[in-house]
Amino acid sequence: MFTFASIVVKLNLVYLSLGSNIGNRSEQLEKAINSLQEIGVVGKISSVYETAAWGNINQSSFLNLVLQMRTNIDALNFMNKLLFIEEKMGRVRKDKWEERIIDIDILYFNNEIINEEKLKVPHSYLYERKFVLEPLVEIAPDFIHPILNISSKEMLNRCADKLEVKRLLHA
């Protein structure tokens, strides 16, 4: 007779924003999603949206999407793994809001509020960015922002961002 110990693994619910505006943007998003499957289980994926660059407008338009995933990795280590994926894909960080092969941002990590030097969760600009809110509302309209205490849908309704966000296709 064998007795097995119960192992409880906490799976963290994470929402990520992915964007690309260099090279084959669709291919970059697909590569990033495949890489993310090495550090967790990818769940819902929004449609792909095209938008003009935000922050630094003198660059090519972006393809963006939002996805939900679950991971057993804690937030800071998860962020480090995301940075490694970006680096592996060829991202070089020089200037803020620059062109990029891939950008992977943590929007939410469970309902946690994290204010570390290297990690701010919820994402600091989430409520200001229509290109993030539209795909987020597609997959998580009722998710409540843990600081603002309003849903994704309500954030989108209140968003002052006027950039056009064009839905292209469902992932």
Per-residue pLDDT of the chain (171 residues; tens, 9 = 90+): 555 566 667 899 999 999 999 999 999 999 999 999 999 999 999 999 999 877 666 778 999 999 999 999 999 999 999 999 999 998 777 766 578 889 999 999 999 999 998 899 999 989 999 999 999 999 999 999 999 999 999 999 999 998 889 999 655
142 as an active site residue: the answer is: no
CATH code for position 31: 3.30.70.560
Residue 7 lies inside a defined structural domain of this protein: no
Residue 3 lies inside a defined structural domain of this protein: no
25 as an active site residue: the answer is: no
Classify 97 in phi/psi space as left (phi over 0), alpha (psi -120 to 50) or beta. Answer: left
Whole-number pLDDT of residue 4: 58
Whole-number pLDDT of residue 17: 97
Residue 1 lies inside a defined structural domain of this protein: no
DSSP structural state of residue 95:
S
Instruction: Print the domain residue range for 147.
Output: 12-170
Residue 97 lies inside a defined structural domain of this protein: yes
DSSP structural state of residue 127:
G
The catalytic residue among 105, 142, 161, 167 is 105
158 as an active site residue: the answer is: no
Residue 78 lies inside a defined structural domain of this protein: yes
Residue 58 lies inside a defined structural domain of this protein: yes
Task: Give whole-number Cα distances, 83 to 76, 77, 101, in Å.
Answer: 11, 10, 13
Q: Domain count of the chain? A: 1
100 as an active site residue: the answer is: yes
Residue 67 lies inside a defined structural domain of this protein: yes
SS3 155: helix
Task: Please state, in angstroms and rounded to a whole number, the distance separating the CA atoms of residues 107 and 164.
Answer: 21
The pTM assigned to this predicted structure is: 0.90
Q: Where are the beta strands (DSSP E) in the chain?
A: 12-20, 41-45, 47-51, 62-71, 103-109, 114-115, 120-121, 165-170
Residue 162 lies inside a defined structural domain of this protein: yes
